[in-house]
Structure 1
Amino acid sequence: LSHARSRYIYELYYKREAVSKELYDWLLKEGYADANLIAKWKKSGYEKLCCLRCIQTRDMNYQGSTCICRVPKAQVRSGTIVECVHCGCRGCS
């Protein structure tokens, strides 16, 4: 739910330019959207990131790795089930 709401607010402000800077800042300040997640979406390679937990290496099985949902679909072996155990994402890379 947080991801969907944050994505909606992000799209309204950055893509459609349908809300003012003041309203956007207020929505972030009041917690209606995840400011840290939106900050990642603005960076190259993270445009479709599902949640911040999926890029934190400390929560993963292997030291220094990221979540399986961050692996591009072309690099995943066929027949491998790709689903994040934290948020249920099936591939956001």
Structure 2
Amino acid sequence: MPKIKTSRVKYPEGWELIEPTIRELDAKMREAENDPHDGKRKCEALWPIFRISHQRSRYIYDLYYRRKEISQELYEFCLDQGYADRNLIAKWKKASILRSIFVVHGLLLSLFDFFLHNILFFLG
């Protein structure tokens, strides 16, 4: 008997944990796409779509890189299926110059507080 090929996608383990949120964001996306844009500029009509796409990508990014709640297999599946924007996540992964400045600035403030505290301790 010949094998029957189906077009169903096999979801990886852990999909049931993120599926409700992904489905909710998909519903919001459909609503934003079907929303009438009479009286709006073309770019203004696209803003809600970009916002929801950004939110969905950020959700998957946070689950994988920050909270470490999903597996690499599930993360790659989400990227391959288009649930998250690979290029946007790559941008978030890069160390920005502002983050570096804030870290150095925070470190300098901590050192300054340490020395100020020690000087006041010895003088007082």
Q: TM-score, normalised by structure 2?
A: 0.36
Query: For the pair shown, which has the larger CA radius of gyration, 1 or 2?
Result: 2
Structure holding more helix per residue: 2
Q: TM-score, normalised by structure 1?
A: 0.48
